[in-house]
Amino acid sequence: MTKKEAILKAAQEAFGQLGFTAATVKDVAGRADVSFGLVSHYFGSKQDLFLAAGFDMADRLICSLAEATAESPDGLTSIRQYMSAYFAFTDEQRDRFPILLRCSPFSHMEPGIDAVKVAEKFSAFIDELKRCVSQGIEDGSIRTLPVEETALIIYGNIVGSVRTSLLTPYKSEGIFSETINHVIRSLKNGPDQDGC
Amino acid sequence: MTKKEAILKAAQEAFGQLGFTAATVKDVAGRADVSFGLVSHYFGSKQDLFLAAGFDMADRLICSLAEATAESPDGLTSIRQYMSAYFAFTDEQRDRFPILLRCSPFSHMEPGIDAVKVAEKFSAFIDELKRCVSQGIEDGSIRTLPVEETALIIYGNIVGSVRTSLLTPYKSEGIFSETINHVIRSLKNGPDQDGC
Amino acid sequence: MTKKEAILKAAQEAFGQLGFTAATVKDVAGRADVSFGLVSHYFGSKQDLFLAAGFDMADRLICSLAEATAESPDGLTSIRQYMSAYFAFTDEQRDRFPILLRCSPFSHMEPGIDAVKVAEKFSAFIDELKRCVSQGIEDGSIRTLPVEETALIIYGNIVGSVRTSLLTPYKSEGIFSETINHVIRSLKNGPDQDGC
Amino acid sequence: MTKKEAILKAAQEAFGQLGFTAATVKDVAGRADVSFGLVSHYFGSKQDLFLAAGFDMADRLICSLAEATAESPDGLTSIRQYMSAYFAFTDEQRDRFPILLRCSPFSHMEPGIDAVKVAEKFSAFIDELKRCVSQGIEDGSIRTLPVEETALIIYGNIVGSVRTSLLTPYKSEGIFSETINHVIRSLKNGPDQDGC
DNA sequence: TATGAATGAGCGTTCATTCAT
DNA sequence: TATGAATGAACGCTCATTCAT
């Protein structure tokens, strides 16, 4: 691992744990075991480093999600696989995932960070979900629902459970799989409450 | 409004917008139109002020939720009313609600804040939800589900939509009511997919 | 002397000796025997302090020159008194005068300093000289010369000798009075070289 | 032009515009289009580079002045030719001349620069002027004046006008030729104010 | 010759906090 | 109650310098 890569990983850790403002460049340098001057040398300002750290994580997750939903029989299964892949990724990256909770339009952008760039990057997550929902409604696996809101609600559901799992002391073993069930139950087309 | 109250409101605004670290005591004093010395005089340290601001908001929301769920015919209706009251509160307090997103165990605690106190305070929100879910399972309005996980998932659902509405540029008019529908569909006991 | 005044005097000393870039805020605070935080408290940024220090010195010199030329029998005498007052002022303020050599449009403006403000302030020095030269040409005590250029040349003459006296190791006792003679000889109206 | 020469020219530009402290080695390297490591390789420390840049300019000006005064009929004419050559040189080198205003005993030496070396180098300019004044007094073209002071005053006159022309916004077309006239009028031996 | 990775001293500035008034 | 003068730790950042390649 090059020193540049070490700095990026350390930044993901530090920003994830402490947030943009509270994390310090010296702290990042210390975690990466390099001098703090090298951080500026490679990444410029603290803001630039924050975005680099967040976008690196986002890009890898986007990749992982795209793979997961690539070959699905139907939209509802795509949603299930999207969520499974999302939760699997957070579990694998427990130490450094929180940077994505920070560098996200669903969090308060800390002062000095370019919120527009972040929102653009994250629209990929929502767009992918919208694609799955649309597909599901078309193929009949998902009931008729407003696509935009539903995608946002599902994403909120995912992030809510990730936050519960990574941040709170209310942790619960089965929360990820229960969240998938919760969403699937809500979306699934089928004999309705007023039905039979 | 006394100066002490003005400081508390100003703190909710400032911490909500900027976060604990980035907001400054001078900024709070400026918003309240008092000298910065008075802030220490009434609230002690910055940390104490942060907790005071967050807990004031939390207490008022807890009150509002307790009222809303007080006289419900069944557990599912309680959930619906809990969510309605929650969303109504966030709409009423748009300017100062974000302090609750910051001063919450579902967010990263900023360094120096006593996370245990915050978690204790917030368990009231989860406990109230657990009570509703249990009641609903007992009275048959909610399908049989693990109480702990379900309460956490619902709370995550609520906060996810609040975040989407208050923080992101992906705002969508009907997201609050759709979120309620989403949850109710998922919880409602009734003829199942494998049913009929 | 208040601490604010002490900081201003210390800034004049430090900036005068070391220049804007090389002088440090900590150094100024040390000379004034106050904490460095107090410098920002009273004067804001280093740039603001530099201008405050330079303009204070300039204002006092402008006052002194205006007094000196107030009641002159003729323009040439005004010039002589302007120069005498200028040199007297530099002698009195030897320790702190160099700030005026730094905070002057006749010096390189250091990066970050608002050159326009400085040039506006200093036009008072040139305008006063132009007034004297014009008066002298009118009353016949000064030969016919281009007013603008002559004023600038005299000012250059003055500053040249001040620099020689304050900065170089070529110091010479009589340089100030000889400079006055030099200028008066050059301006004086009278039997000319082509005359008799 | 070799890279070494390019660095020297770039240093004259950068130090002239920004001063020793504010100019950076990286900036010099950028202007010369070489890597910053090469600057140290050829010139050692920043101080050494500053002196090299200033002395190169000084040596070329000294050469030019010596040529100009070489074959003069009398001392007063030598002075005129010295000044003409000086002003011509500054016009030719407008972009890089300011290094000489910085690297000069008539300016504040920036901390770290060896003021003694600079003063020694510059005594050549004063000595040449003293030679001309002495010669003029001997041959009768210049009135009887203290040689040391007069040379310093003339040099101050020259530099004052160069500063006015290169640095201030008070620029005036004819200032150089008027400065020569000013000096010649003041030095010229002839029918005096005390009469024919 | 020529490059730039790597270091760390030192800069201007911000800001929570204390305390005399 | 209410103010703001005063302090100094800690921040992000710049930059001269060294050195392996």
Q: Which amino acid is at A162?
A: V
Q: Where are the alpha helices (DSSP H) in chain C?
A: 3-22, 25-32, 36-43, 46-69, 75-92, 98-102, 115-139, 147-167, 175-187
* Gap between the Cα atoms of A104 and A118, Å rounded: 6
Q: Would you state the pLDDT for residue B196?
A: 33
At A130-169, the pLDDT tens digits run 999 999 999 999 999 999 999 999 999 999 999 999 999 9
- Statement: residue C194 has pLDDT above 70: no
Q: Which amino acid is at B95?
A: D
Q: Would you state the pLDDT for residue C111?
A: 87
CB contact under 8 Å between B182 and A106, yes or no, is no
- Statement: residue D193 has pLDDT above 80: no
Residue ranges of the domains in chain A? 51-187
Chain B nearest C-alpha distance from A9 (Å): 19
Q: Which two tokens stand for residue A29?
A: 């340098």
- Statement: residue B90 has pLDDT above 70: yes
**DSSP label at residue C95:** T
A118 in helix, strand or coil?
A: helix
- Residue of C18, C19, C156 with shortest CB distance to D157: C156
Across B36-45, C94-103, D171-180, least confident range = D171-180
Q: Which amino acid is at B12?
A: Q
Whose structure tokens read 């004419």? D77
CB contact under 8 Å between B163 and A159, yes or no, is yes
At C84-137, the pLDDT tens digits run 999 999 999 999 999 999 999 999 998 889 999 999 999 999 999 999 999 999
- Statement: residue D194 has pLDDT above 70: no
CB of D132 within 8 A of CB of D79? yes
Q: Which chains contact B through at least 3 pairs of Cβ atoms less than 8 Å apart?
A: A
* Gap between the Cα atoms of A4 and A26, Å rounded: 15
Half-sphere exposure of D164 (CA within 13 A, CB side): 32
* Gap between the Cα atoms of B190 and B195, Å rounded: 9
Cβ neighbors of C11 (< 8 A, separation 6 or more) are: C23, C28, C32, C43, C49, C50, C52, C53, C99
At A62-110, the pLDDT tens digits run 999 999 999 899 999 999 999 999 999 999 999 999 999 999 999 999 8
Altogether, the residues listed in chain A come to a count of 196
CB of D182 within 8 A of CB of C153? yes
As ranges, strand F nucleotides with an atom below 7 A of a protein CB are 1-20
* Gap between the Cα atoms of C80 and B151, Å rounded: 92
Chain C residues closer than 8 Å to D46 by CB = none
The C-alpha angle C173, C174, C180, rounded to 5 degrees, equals 145
Helices (H) and strands (E) in chain D, counts: 9, 0
Q: How confident is the model at residue A196 (pLDDT cuts 50, 70, 90)?
A: very low
CB contact under 8 Å between D21 and C17, yes or no, is no
Cβ neighbors of D40 (< 8 A, separation 6 or more) are: D25
Residues 72-131, chain B: which have Cβ within 8 Å of A?
98, 101-102, 105-108, 110-111, 115, 119, 123, 126
- Statement: residue C12 has pLDDT above 70: yes
- Statement: residue D139 has pLDDT above 90: yes
Q: Which two tokens stand for residue C16?
A: 């005068």
CB contact under 8 Å between B164 and A148, yes or no, is no
Q: Helices B3-22 and B46-69, interaxial angle, to 10°?
A: 110
* Gap between the Cα atoms of A105 and A117, Å rounded: 10
Q: If you measure CA to CA, which chain B residue comes closest to A165?
A: B106
B66 in helix, strand or coil?
A: helix
C-alpha separations of D71 from A28, D125, D132, D147 in Å = 70, 17, 12, 21
What is chain C's Cα-based Rg?
19
* Cβ neighbours around A61 below 10 Å, total: 19
At B119-134, the pLDDT tens digits run 999 999 999 999 999 9
| Span CA (B195) to C1' (F20), Å | 74
| Span CA (D93) to C1' (E16), Å | 54
Q: Which two tokens stand for residue D163?
A: 């500063």
Average pLDDT for C187-193: 74
Residues 40-59, chain C: which have Cβ within 8 Å of D?
none
Closest CA to D71 of D85, D89, D61: D85
At A21-60, the pLDDT tens digits run 999 999 999 999 999 999 999 999 999 999 999 999 999 9
Burial of D6 (0-12, 13-18, 19+ CB in 10 A): middle
Closest CA to D120 of C165, C170, C172, C17: C170
DSSP for D118-184?
Answer: HHHHHHHHHHHHHHHHHHHHHHTSB-S--HHHHHHHHHHHHHHHHHHHHH-TT--TTHHHHHHHHHH
CB contact under 8 Å between C172 and D148, yes or no, is yes
CATH 2.40.50.40 holds for A51-187? no
Cα torsion B18, B20, B25, B29: sign: positive
At D67-121, the pLDDT tens digits run 999 989 999 999 999 999 999 999 999 999 999 999 999 999 988 899 999 999 9
Q: Which amino acid is at A172?
A: S
- Touch between B and D (at least 3 CB pairs under 8 Å): no
B40: nt with nearest C1' to CA: E17
Q: Would you state the pLDDT for residue B172?
A: 82
Closest CA to A169 of C86, D170, B126: B126
At C61-79, the pLDDT tens digits run 999 999 999 989 999 999 9
Q: Where are the alpha helices (DSSP H) in A70-173?
A: 75-92, 98-102, 115-139, 147-167
Q: Would you state the pLDDT for residue A92?
A: 96
